[in-house]
Structure 1
């Protein structure tokens, strides 16, 4: 490795007291820089921004993600900044170079079968009060597409102080979403039945404040973390082969609704998205689903083996 890089790593270790694992990462990234400069027959002083851009393109073509390349650039930028302070380079060739953008990963959604498996879980030996509450949690998340903050913010009935509440007569959940925007979401028949069952058993857990719809064993409003823990446990008990979290049920709600209706604007309204561009990610999920169906079923999709 170039002696200047060795001195820089020593500077990081001794003067900056960089952690050993971080130092190893820097060393690996700078070894890549040294190899690419050597292949181009360049010294570090001769490296220019167009060289760095070309090397980034090469690494990207080799499969490195934009996020990984951002870390690579950070390591290279730090080296050249130090060399500038040492008077060994006149400019930092990494300044102004940005990594390629990585595509945003698609939201993970359960299949319809997995969602039903979770929602229809029967646990006859469980505490009937907690079982009614946890079943209602699942039905409200999957059946209404609520955010976790919207779910735990629900009260059992309307009041001047309520952030959100359920209206059994209208079969609606009135929630306070992002940007303090209110919306009404229909409660389907399965979720409504689960809600009525939970409300009938809910007094057994109430201690003081009767407002919160979902309460924990101490009788206080459930926290998002408590909901996550209960949902994870329930998914394991249902045999769902993936880590299930509340937002995954929201994604599942949107994906399955779009698959059935094809009405993107309606899904946007139900989710409370300010921009339809946010909702359009589910069209990609929908296409992914259709592509899997095609690959599995269409005779022209099957390759000869």
Structure 2
């Protein structure tokens, strides 16, 4: 037995509303479609034909099944979010009396600490020397990542008029959640960008406005930046396996370690919730713990 045709129609209306009224991204809509499809599979197995027949115990059971299949906490949180959104839509349309997913929580999972580089490793990476037009561009990108703590998407979206080099600042117009923020640019990054801009002018195709462009004169994509960092590490004999966000993580960790100013680091990173920034305090504590274990006379492990 499968979901009633009316239930399928209601689901279609929900996705139309997400796309048109809520202006949800294609990525979000496709994720929600997959998530609700899995719930439909559960309902079919349990001979549930209407959305109003789904109980809180069903949602708990469904999420528990998914957890047993090895699905991570973040994915389960998103699945619950999709189900809650759908039932909120049903409540609004008076097609349901309760939201069975409202008080169901995904199993908690230990938060992974982001990998960072220490100051010496960063220096080795950024002082390896640039020997070509592309390497001049790459060094400017990597300096800017570490200088300003940009996300990869923010770096590739950066346009020339977002930079204010005399003021040592830039504006991020397309941050996460559509939020913009103004960020300082360190002197090393300013110098690297100033070295890149004359090279950029030689290959840019008008009216391209991106700061970082390919040899074809068009905006550089996110995957290209990742590949260039990998290539940089290989060519410069840097042993660490790096990805662009490690430079952002290192920026946050080093700044917090020096300043102890969590709110300022939160603002610079563009985190809407300070709990996201607090992960770097755990990193900082982990570093302090390692120093303590090595240095304190009563903490040193017996050889």
Please indicate the TM-score interval, normalised by the length of the shorter structure: 0.5 to 0.7
> Please, which of 92, 97, 105 is the counterpart of residue 112 of structure 2?
105
Residue 208 of structure 2 contacts residue 219 of structure 2 at CA under 8 Å; is this kept in 1?
no
TM-score (structure 2 length as normaliser): 0.64
Instruction: State the SS of the aligned residue for 1:301.
Output: coil
1:166 equivalent to 2:163? Answer yes
TM-score (structure 1 length as normaliser): 0.64
Q: Deviations over 1:236-285 (max 9, x none)?
A: 33333322111111111000100111100110010011111110000001
Residue 67 of structure 1 contacts residue 102 of structure 1 at CA under 8 Å; is this kept in 2?
no
> Please, which of 122, 132, 137 is the counterpart of residue 141 of structure 2?
137
1:117 equivalent to 2:117? Answer no
Counterpart residue number, 1:180: 178
**Structure 2 unaligned spans of 5+:** 1-63, 72-103
Residue 140 of structure 1 contacts residue 146 of structure 1 at CA under 8 Å; is this kept in 2?
yes
Matches of 2:153 and 2:110, distance apart in 1: 27
Matches within 5 A, 1:147-166: 147-157=151-161, 165-166=162-163
Matches of 2:262 and 2:295, distance apart in 1: 26
Matches within 5 A, 1:143-292: 143-157=147-161, 165-176=162-173, 177-292=175-290
RMSD: 2.5
Question: Aligned-pair distance for 1:101?
Answer: 2.6
Q: Is the radius of gyration larger for structure 1 or structure 2?
A: 1
Question: Aligned-pair distance for 1:302?
Answer: 1.0
Question: Aligned-pair distance for 1:198?
Answer: 0.7
Detail structure 1 runs of 4+ shifted over 3 Å in the superposition.
Answer: 66-69, 97-100
Question: Aligned-pair distance for 1:99?
Answer: 8.4
Report how many residues are paired: 209
Instruction: State the SS of the aligned residue for 1:300.
Output: coil
